[in-house]
Amino acid sequence: MHSSRRTRSRPVFFDTGKRAALTALEVNRSVRPMKHASPFLALLAAAALLGCDRKPTVVMPPGPSPASMAQAEFERKLDSANPQEQLAVLNDAVAAWLMLKGTPPPNLEALVAEKMLPRLPQPPAGRRFELAGEKVVLR
């Protein structure tokens, strides 16, 4: 005969082929009542919802902006006595022209006319900057 023993059921959290669900009585015993949690949770949810419309504040460090620093570096290279720095600025302007228009500029003065350069740099004595295809060279 089959003996009927009353066994206490244990909670099973994964299906092992045996009993996989908790009985209602076991669930009620395992959950502790939270007397003061609901007002706290409501207050926490309200605070979270009120703060959702705010955008984060970006604080810039004091001093010059990165854009003004880049502009200052550009001006420094344009006014430099080093012809290699001047050529780099001119070639960057020609590359920007090529990206926008697809063809090389007709001359270097067109870069100033289209405001890609504020002015042409002063070449070294006895030399000049020339446009040779898609590059600027010093002759």
Map 102-121 to HEC letters.
CCCCCCCHHHHHCCCCCCCC
Strands (DSSP E) contained in 1-139 are 129-132, 135-138
Considering the domain boundaries, does residue 87 fall inside one?
yes
Q: Which of 3-7, 13-17, 21-25, 130-134: highest mean pLDDT?
A: 130-134
Residue 92 lies in domain: 82-138
Considering the domain boundaries, does residue 123 fall inside one?
yes
Taking residues 39-46, what's their average pLDDT?
Answer: 71
Pick the residue with more confidence: 32 or 66?
66
Taking residues 96-124, what's their average pLDDT?
Answer: 91
Pick the residue with more confidence: 60 or 71?
71
Considering the domain boundaries, does residue 90 fall inside one?
yes
Average pLDDT, the chain: 76
Considering the domain boundaries, does residue 99 fall inside one?
yes
Q: So what's the pLDDT on residue 128? A: 92
Fill in the DSSP letter of residue 19: -
* Range with the poorest average pLDDT among 55-64, 69-78, 85-94: 55-64
Taking residues 30-51, what's their average pLDDT?
Answer: 64
The token pair at 55 is 């955008």
Strand partners, 131: 136
Considering the domain boundaries, does residue 103 fall inside one?
yes
Considering the domain boundaries, does residue 18 fall inside one?
no
Helix axes 66-78, 83-101, angle to 10 degrees: 120
Residue owning tokens 């070294």: 124
Considering the domain boundaries, does residue 129 fall inside one?
yes
Asked whether the beta carbons of 74 and 89 are under 8 A apart, the reply is yes
Residue 20 above 50 pLDDT? no
Domain total for the chain? Answer: 1
If phi > 0 it is left, if psi is from -120 to 50 it is alpha, else beta; for residue 86 that is alpha
Candidates 67, 93, 64; CA nearest to 78 is: 93
Q: So what's the pLDDT on residue 57? A: 74
Considering the domain boundaries, does residue 105 fall inside one?
yes
